[in-house]
Amino acid sequence: MTTDSNEEVTMKDAMDNTEDSTVIIHSGDVVQGKVISVNEEEVVVNIGFMADGVISKEEISNEKDINPTDIVKIGDEISVYIMKINNGEGNVLLSKKRADGLKVWDKFQEILDANETLEITVSDIVKGGATTYIEGVRAFIPASQMSDAYIENLQDFKGKTLVVKIIELDKENKNIVLSRRVIEKEENAVKRDIVWNELKKGEKRKGVVTRLAKFGAFVDLGGIDGLIHVSQLSWKRVQDPSEVVSVGDEVEVKVLDFDKEKGRISLGLKAEEGNPWNNIVKNYKSGAIVEGTVVKLMDFGAFVQLESGVEGLVHLSEISEERIAKVSDVLKVGEVVKVKIGEINEKDRRISLSIKEAARGNEDFSQYKQEEQGGLTLGDILGDKLKNYKF
């Protein structure tokens, strides 16, 4: 009897111990397990359940054509996701990639809560932005969040490594949105304060051309963009900024003016030593007749270029002796004309010109002498013909 009694107690204790040591699992749980077998097709894991768990090759990783032996080895402690308690062969069907996926979303939440950054590589450029992968999870960067600066071509970012922050996280729908712009804004805010505090009118600064527009070129001075107006790019007349600079060019510019409240900085690129107006009074004299090229037509007259960087205005009334309604009826851009130099305003860089005065100057009166000829004076010979002429 004693023997039977002892055997019964032993069996009961054994069953109790088995129940205590067997975990209760449900589909959707994430549990810890120990790898007990691994080959090229599957991994067998002891999860403390009455049956071992099996991870198929497809459930090891998000990467395609992966060899399980490259991911885990016997004795590894890993987290696994319970897909199915019985796979039809008495084993529990497990997934490592799903467990890793759940863990990474928790990690994303921690990064978001701590306002930390991530380093990513842009995988593809898609409609509206770019994509990347973080630990196998696809993330999206909207075009508006790629940079705090103007972006000419989004394709330039493909393959680039960026430091970003998570700005949207939806664990349930597996959606994650990243931003490089928020980091740049923070960095640029510090840089901008430094630049604004250092700016002085007349000083020279180095910068990089970031964008071209019809009216000029934008230059990054270190967190702040200044504008070189098209008139300040060169002493010669510039039709398009691309004639002088290109995006990405490093340039030295002069600070002409700035307004911190409005966030505007006016810059100049043309060097003072190349200013053709420095020798204007030596090269041109009032009353002289010279040749020039018509460069611009206006309602009130025409601008004529005497040399690169030096232009004068022929007022509508100084184009012809005859009354004209439109400048374009008489002149064309590119036409070479003779002009007589009138007033030279060196300070304001203005020269008044006259085409009709130059034409008068071409008439030859050398045959007439100031003394009387046969009792007649020069005035008698020419009569009213001279009354409107200036000498």
Quick check: helix, strand or coil at residue 280? helix
Q: How far is CA 30 from CA 74, 94, 323, 336, 374, in A?
A: 20, 9, 94, 86, 128
**SS3 of 12, please?**
helix
Q: Are residues 283 and 338 in the same domain?
A: yes
Q: Which of 148, 150, 145, 110 is nearest to 131 (CA)?
A: 145
Within-domain flag for 248: yes
**Predicted confidence (pLDDT) per residue in 54-113, tens digit:** 999 889 887 777 889 888 999 999 989 899 988 777 889 999 988 887 888 888 999 999
The token pair at 128 is 């509206």
Nearby residues of 146 by Cβ (< 8 Å), 6 or more positions away: 129, 130, 154, 157, 180, 181
Residue 236's contacts (CB-CB under 8 Å, 6 or more residues apart) are 308, 309
- Three-state DSSP at 184 gives helix
3, part of any domain: no
Verify that 348 and 283 share a domain, yes or no: yes
Say if 384 falls within a structural domain: no
pLDDT of res. 18: 42
Identify the pLDDT of residue 273.
67
Q: Is there a single domain that holds both residue 66 and residue 90?
A: yes
Low-confidence stretches of the chain (pLDDT < 70) are 1-22, 272-274, 361-391
| pLDDT of the residue at 4 | 44
Closest-CA residue to 206 (of 216, 162, 198, 149): 198
- Please report whether residue 352 resides in a domain: yes
Distances from the Cα of 34 to the Cα of 79, 84, 102, 111, 314, angstroms? 9, 18, 19, 29, 93
Task: Tell me: do 247 and 324 sit in the same domain.
Answer: no
Domain boundary among the residues 126, 156, 184 is at 184
**Same structural domain, 175 and 214:** no
Q: What is the pLDDT of residue 368?
A: 42
The total domain count for the chain is 4
Considering the entire predicted model, what is its pTM? Answer: 0.44
pLDDT in tens, 102-120: 888 888 999 999 999 999 9
Could you tell me if residue 301 is inside a domain?
Answer: yes
On whether both 287 and 247 belong to a single domain, the answer is no
Instruction: Look up the domain containing 238 and give its range.
Output: 199-274
Q: Tell me whether residue 325 is in a domain.
A: yes
Give the DSSP letter of residue 241.
G
pLDDT of residue 50: 87
Same domain, 242 and 283: no
Is residue 373 one of the residues assigned to a domain? no
Alpha carbon distances (Å) from 224 to 92, 187, 207, 353: 60, 11, 10, 42
Predicted pLDDT at 155: 93
Q: What is the pLDDT of residue 22?
A: 61
CATH number for position 252: 2.40.50.140
Task: Answer yes or no: do 240 and 280 share one domain.
Answer: no
Half-sphere exposure of 76 (CA within 13 A, CB side): 17
Same domain, yes or no, for 226 and 180?
Answer: no
